[in-house]
Amino acid sequence: MSIENRLAELGITLPDAPAPAANYVPFAQSGNLIFISGQISADENGLIIGKLGENMETEAGAAAARRCGLALIAQLKAVTGSLDKVKRVVKLSGFVNSTPDFTEQPKVINGCSDLMVEIFGDAGRHARAAVSAPSLPLGVAVEIEAIFEVE
């Protein structure tokens, strides 16, 4: 089954690939690896702002991380033209806007990790970092960058 068919089967619509907000490119490719710049948590209503452990619960953070994952996949599709060229998700690096005593960063970033496996199956399993940050750009709850291997 193609990835496009898989997305349709799951009822997932990708957002438009976000434009860079500063002096950087949305991706860089080296050989068969595509490095997608950090995607911040946003949905159709705008930025998802919050600080985990202060004014946002873990489940809401995981939903924000899922939105980052959708943006990562949208960027990847813009680069490759077809998600069927994806051989595997290599690595995710997730940053969680959280208080010093918040310790559920892995549960938050699971929102993105689970999405990758849901869409790409075993090829979606990846290495990962899930770390806390005292603040993130524009006050967003989550930012995630990714490395993908393509054909």
- Res 41 pLDDT > 90: yes
User: Mean pLDDT over residues 67-85, rounded?
Assistant: 97
Which pLDDT does position 15 carry in this prediction? 96
Fold of the 42-150 domain? 60s Ribosomal Protein L30; Chain: A; (3.30.1330)
Cα 32 to Cα 130: distance, rounded to the nearest angstrom: 25
pTM above 0.85, yes or no: yes
Which pLDDT does position 97 carry in this prediction? 98
User: What percent of the chain lies above the pLDDT cut of 90?
Assistant: 96
- Res 49 pLDDT > 90: yes
Which pLDDT does position 21 carry in this prediction? 84
Among 151, 104, 113, smallest CA distance to 132 is for 104
Q: What is the pLDDT of residues 9-28, one digit of tens each?
A: 999 999 999 899 899 999 99
- Structure tokens, 149: 């291997």
Among 77, 76, 74, 72, smallest CA distance to 94 is for 72
Cα 105 to Cα 58: distance, rounded to the nearest angstrom: 8
- Mean pLDDT over all residues of the chain? 97
- Res 1 pLDDT > 90: no
